Amino acid sequence: MTASPELGTPGAASSELFRAVFRRHAAGVAVITAKGESPVGFTATSLSSVSADPPMISFGIASASLSWRVVSETAHVGVHLLGEHQRELAAVFARSGADRFGPSTRWRDGPAGVPVLDGVQAWLVCRIVSRVPAGDHRIVIAEVVAGDAAGPGRPLVYHQGRFNALRD
C-alpha cells in the first residue's frame, strides 16, 4: 500500500493524521456561549447529541482557551446552531482576540442569564452536568433546560477548513 505524503505511513497515529482526517469530516457549526464577568463564546464543530431522555449534548473545548476559564466554573451554557447566512458570525467566534459580543453581534440575556444569539437556526440553554478531561481539551456534557428550534435558514457546515453551505 502506498501512503500519501500528506498523511505519512498508514496507521501511524499523529496530530497531522488526525487533522487530515477531520478536515474531510463535514460537521455542523455551533457557537457555545457562557456568562462570566463578561460574556464568552467560541465556535464549535464538536457538538453532539448524547441522550434524548433526558435531553443531553456534549462539546469539546480547548483547556487553554479563554472561554474555558468561564465554562469551567459556570452552571449553564448556550448552544447555537448557525445557518448558512452566518458565516461571518462563525468566523468572529472562531477568531482569537475578536470582539465576539461587540456591536456586530446581536444577542440578549436568555434563560439562566446565558447569552443567546439572535438569528440562529436553533438555540439551547443547557445545565452542565460533567466536564471530562480529554488530552488538551475538556468534553462538556450538559442537559437541555430551554431552547427554540424555529430559526431561519439552512445549516452552516465546516469542511476542508472552511465554512460552507449544503448543496441540494
Residue 39, preceding peptide bond in cis (omega within 30° of 0)? no
| 108 grid coordinates | 440578549
The pLDDT tens digits for 156-165 are 999 988 998 9
Distance CA 138, CA 167 (A): 33
Question: Cα-Cα-Cα-Cα dihedral of 100, 121, 24, 130, to 10°?
Answer: 70
The pLDDT tens digits for 112-162 are 999 999 999 999 999 999 999 999 999 999 999 999 999 998 999 999 889
For 25, phi then psi, to 5°, come to -95, 110
pTM for the full predicted model: 0.89
Q: Residue 2: is its pLDDT beyond 60? A: no
Domain spans, the chain: 27-159
For 77, phi then psi, to 5°, come to -135, 155
Which residues, at least 6 apart from 62, have a Cβ–Cβ distance to it below 8 Å?
Answer: 68, 136, 137
pLDDT at 11: 64
- Inter-residue contact 60 to 132 (CB < 8 Å): no
Architecture of domain 27-159: Roll (2.30)
Give the mean pLDDT of the chain: 92
Q: How does strand 27-28 pair with strand 55-62?
A: unpaired
